């Protein structure tokens, strides 16, 4: 095999890429096994009407960016009517669109536009809880204890002679107790209702047949309008143990796996019956619809249960996301996932960031430990090195996109955006900030509106004639990271993603399938995929001599001859 012939990222466009003339054929019903899906956090993606908030018109105006990027689908965070106590995850009406985002007609047009661009559309569904403004909950408050309306939720009498203590010791993952007491219709102190998240998000009772049938109607409502699938929020939480027993000492943490087996409200076995019924609905369509589970579990064998052939199609790989930038930890996460998911014939779905975690540029730009993390609160007060974080993030992108299965790209990840850690306190909106007594700044730092073009905020996020500023302020330094500034710059993160996704779609070795590890020194990962592909990732402190290969397809940073520098990845044709 010939030695490496190119050493600079800037040379990529001039190098022939030895790939198949056409993308490998994938059965339409199986597109999700290899898909790269782009997450649209709609409030922060693009503002079409100038009110400072992202909307459907903004998404439609930027579909060309997603098509040029090379992704297969977009997942849109909730766009339903909501008081926004938790950024739309407190839903009032699951079969409508919030006026601030647009109309149902515009939503249907977006689906059609996306399909014309060759993009599928996945929506978010929030089945664990509704908004406290939902008509069902308002009816429950008005009708009082023992009513049929209250049985759709989890109302219970309080403990103690006066009923003034919560029914059990469960904690909200946003901080504080998981129970709130209501005033009864006559004004007297009354029952308590369960909310594993904010008080404005009462948990539904999934033992109630009307709850089940109503969500099945919601699935069909959107599927009939061309939506290609759903991401299921808090997929592990729907079913609670009979009797709602105390947990004892338990510190619920946002987006952390359950701390014990047989947990009374996380990952109950009974939840799988719900997803079997949902899968039957999805499979009833001529082109079957798909599901991806948000399931924070630290046992891959438990995660595999959600993606058995008669249940959900995929699940986010949070084990991989939470792994530090250490070769052994990342390799272990990959092995655990591929091994256990393989037992049920499901593909892995890799992810590095999303709207609930600190952006990985900022996570990787700090000293790495063996402890899995996803938030800045977990990382501590160590200062961030954005250049280091961005270098590692670029390498992580090539690692993720070389792995078998599918992947998700969080908006702005393709621009190399970092977490905005200095947002003024007065603009913070995340309930984590408020429920933690202003100790945890929450998730707003990863939700700052995207920079599209220009030299000053709002960087094209809103029209030039916009009457309002973006709902969260953008850093002035993002002028260097706008999509326009990076387009055509072969050393930019945006062009790296475009090149990687172009190669991934065309190369017969990439996407769904198998992989094997090649021998490598400590701190280096070598992944082989057939036919003729190797991904090399150097997480050590020293240069690594690349293995024999025909040519280099892509590198996350400049190579030094045949040496791969630290915190750099390369794709090789063998």
Task: Catalogue the active-site residues.
Answer: 233, 294
Contacts of 284 (CB under 8 A, 6+ apart): none
- How many helices and strands in the chain, by DSSP H and E? 15, 18
310 secondary structure, DSSP code: T
> What DSSP letter does each residue of 541-558 carry, written as one string?
SS-EEPPP-SEEEEESS-
Rounded to whole angstroms, the Cα distance separating 364 from 374 reads 10
Backbone dihedral angles phi then psi of residue 146, each to the nearest 5 degrees = 80, -5
Peptide bond into 258 cis (omega under 30): no
Q: Which residues contact 459 (CB under 8 A, 6 or more apart)?
A: 450, 451, 452, 453, 474, 478, 479, 482
Across the beta sheet with 533-538, the strand order is 516-517, 524-529, 533-538, 568-573, 551-555
- Asked if residues 164 and 189 have their Cβ atoms less than 8 Å apart, the reply is yes
Bridge partner residues of 572 (DSSP): 534, 552
Helix (H, G, I), strand (E, B) or coil at 221: helix
The CA distance from 506 to 303, in Å, is 30
Query: 82-105: b or e for each residue (b if 16 or more CB lie within 10 Å)?
Result: bebbbbbbbbbbbeebbebbbeee
H or E stretch covering 503? helix 493-506
Using alpha carbons only, give the angle 175, 178, 181 rounded to the nearest 5 degrees. Answer: 120
H helices present in 132-270, as ranges: 135-143, 209-223
Cα(345)–Cα(137) distance, rounded to whole angstroms? 40
- Are 17 and 510 in contact by the 8 Å Cβ rule? The answer is no
Gap between the Cα atoms of 278 and 271, Å rounded:
11
**Phi, psi for 183 (deg, rounded to 5):** -90, 130
Tell whether omega for the bond before 531 is within 30 degrees of 0, i.e. cis: yes
Distance CA 50, CA 52 (A): 5
| E strand intervals along 184-312 | 189-194, 229-232, 290-293
Contact 449, 471 (CB under 8 A): yes
């Amino acid at each position: 095999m010939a030695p490496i012939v190119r050493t600079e990222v800037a040379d990529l466009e001039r190098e022939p890429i030895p790939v198949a003339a056409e993308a490998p054929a994938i059965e339409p019903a199986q597109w999700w096994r290899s898909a790269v899906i782009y997450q649209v956090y709609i409030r922060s993606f693009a503002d079409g009407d100038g009110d400072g908030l992202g909307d459907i018109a903004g998404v439609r105006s930027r579909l060309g960016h997603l098509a040029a990027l090379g992704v297969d689908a977009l997942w849109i965070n909730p766009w339903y009517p909501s008081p926004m106590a938790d950024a739309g995850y407190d839903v009032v009406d699951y079969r409508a669109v919030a006026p601030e985002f647009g109309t149902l007609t515009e939503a249907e047009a977006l689906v059609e536009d996306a399909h014309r661009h060759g993009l599928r559309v996945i929506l978010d569904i929030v089945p664990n809880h509704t908004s406290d403004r939902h008509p069902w909950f308002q009816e429950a408050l008005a009708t009082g204890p023992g009513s049929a309306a209250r049985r759709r939720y989890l109302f219970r009498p309080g403990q103690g002679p006066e009923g003034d203590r919560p029914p059990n010791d469960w904690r909200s993952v946003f901080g504080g107790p998981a129970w709130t007491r209501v005033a009864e219709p006559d004004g007297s102190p009354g029952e308590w209702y369960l909310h594993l998240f904010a008080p404005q998000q009462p948990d539904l009772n999934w033992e109630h047949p009307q709850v089940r049938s109503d969500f099945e109607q919601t699935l069909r409502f959107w599927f009939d309008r061309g939506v290609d699938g759903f991401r299921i929020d808090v997929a592990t939480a729907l079913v609670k143990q009979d009797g709602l027993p105390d947990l004892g000492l338990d510190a619920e943490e946002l987006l952390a796996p359950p701390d014990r087996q047989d947990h009374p409200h996380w990952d109950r076995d009974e939840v799988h019956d719900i997803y079997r019924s949902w899968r039957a609905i999805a499979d009833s369509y001529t082109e079957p619809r798909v599901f991806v589970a948000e399931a924070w579990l630290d046992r891959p064998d438990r995660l595999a249960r959600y993606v058995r052939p008669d249940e959900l199609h995929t699940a986010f790989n949070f084990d991989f996301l939470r792994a530090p930038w250490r070769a052994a930890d990342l390799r272990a996460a990959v092995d655990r996932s591929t091994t256990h998911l393989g037992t049920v014939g499901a593909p892995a779905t890799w992810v590095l960031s999303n709207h609930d975690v600190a952006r990985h540029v900022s996570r990787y730009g700090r000293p790495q430990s063996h402890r899995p993390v996803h938030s800045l609160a977990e990382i501590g007060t160590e200062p961030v090195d954005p250049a280091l974080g961005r270098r590692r993030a670029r390498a992580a992108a090539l690692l993720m996109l070389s792995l078998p299965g599918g992947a998700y790209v969080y908006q702005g990840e393709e621009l190399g955006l970092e977490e905005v850690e200095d947002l003024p306190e007065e603009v913070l909106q995340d309930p984590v900030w408020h429920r933690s007594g202003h100790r945890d700044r929450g998730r707003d730092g990863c939700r700052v509106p995207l920079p599209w073009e220009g030299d000053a905020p709002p960087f094209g996020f809103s029209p030039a004639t916009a009457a309002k500023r973006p709902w969260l302020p953008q850093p002035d330094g993002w002028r260097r990271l706008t999509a326009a500034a990076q387009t055509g710059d072969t050393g930019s993160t945006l062009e790296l993603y475009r090149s990687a996704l172009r190669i991934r779609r065309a190369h017969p070795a990439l996407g769904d399938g198998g992989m094997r590890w090649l021998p490598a020194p400590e701190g280096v990962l070598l992944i082989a995929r057939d036919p003729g592909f190797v991904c090399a990732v150097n997480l050590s402190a020293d240069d690594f001599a690349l293995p024999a290969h025909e040519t280099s397809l892509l590198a996350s940073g400049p190579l030094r001859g045949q040496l791969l520098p630290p915190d750099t990845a390369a794709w090789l044709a063998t």
